Amino acid sequence: MKQPSSHIKTLQIDGQDVGANQDETILEVARENGIYIPTLCEIEGLSPHGGCRLCLVEVKGVNKLLPACVTHVQEGMEVFTNSPRLQEYRRTILELIFSEGNHICAVCVVNGRCDLQALATKLGMTHVSVPYLYPRRSVDASHDRFALDRNRCILCTRCVRVCDEIEGAHTWDVSGRGVQAHVVTDLNTPWGDSDTCTSCGKCVNVCPTGALFEKGKAVAEMSKKRGFLPYLTQMREKRSK
């Protein structure tokens, strides 16, 4: 016998009544309804990571902040995406990201086209109030067409995920712990010597900053092409049906 069941949930985001499928995350539903939640490690078409903590939202009755990118909707949920407290936290997290690497926009290939820079502007981060750590980080320009500048890497792992989940090569991974963590190719061999890299360039295009870029691009010349990702995922979903 067919049991009655409900897959549709209704909830409130910032006072707005919205409907959602039970499989959807708060972030997906917010986007459908034109409600902006800042994200950085998240990118449509890749598995969620939950590492940047910018999409944290408040939910009434829950004393912890929840990441919108992985939290599923529930009936009657009351979500707040933009409280003064959240704005403050987000700005501090952005400041921490800027303080951690060596982000010098004026000489960066993606100046003016950078996700991190755009987010800082959008969230009103006017200055960095925590001391810069000025880490010593290495550059890998051994690949024919692309280069990696770890000074600009924010460890969002988009490159790791796109290479693993979409390209299927799993060339990228993270090595080390804490502030010493950094992305590596294969088993920490130079990118140019990698046996697994197919030189598809997907990592370069999903990278939110100028950490991964095409060689031969000067300051502010590099723009990232992202259209392929939702297209690929859509086509795969269609084929698997």
Contacts with another protein, residue ranges (CB under 8 A): 48-53, 56, 64-65, 67, 70-72, 89, 92-93, 96-97, 99-100, 129-131, 133, 154-155, 173-174, 176-181
By beta-carbon proximity to another protein, the closer residue of 104 and 130 is: 130
By beta-carbon proximity to another protein, the closer residue of 92 and 233 is: 92
CA distance 148 to 161: 16
Shortest distance (Å) from residue 31 CB to another protein:
19
By beta-carbon proximity to another protein, the closer residue of 62 and 141 is: 62
How crowded is the C-beta side of 180, counted as CA atoms within 13 Å? Answer: 3
- At 137 the three-state DSSP class reads coil
**Residue of 207, 221, 227 lying closest to 110 (CA atoms):** 221
Does residue 150 come out as left (phi exceeding 0), alpha (psi in the -120 to 50 range) or beta? Answer: alpha
Tokens of 67: 């990441």
Shortest distance (Å) from residue 179 CB to another protein:
5
Shortest distance (Å) from residue 108 CB to another protein:
20
Shortest distance (Å) from residue 64 CB to another protein:
8
By beta-carbon proximity to another protein, the closer residue of 97 and 169 is: 97
Identify whether the C-beta of residue 35 lies closer than 8 Å to the C-beta of residue 99.
no
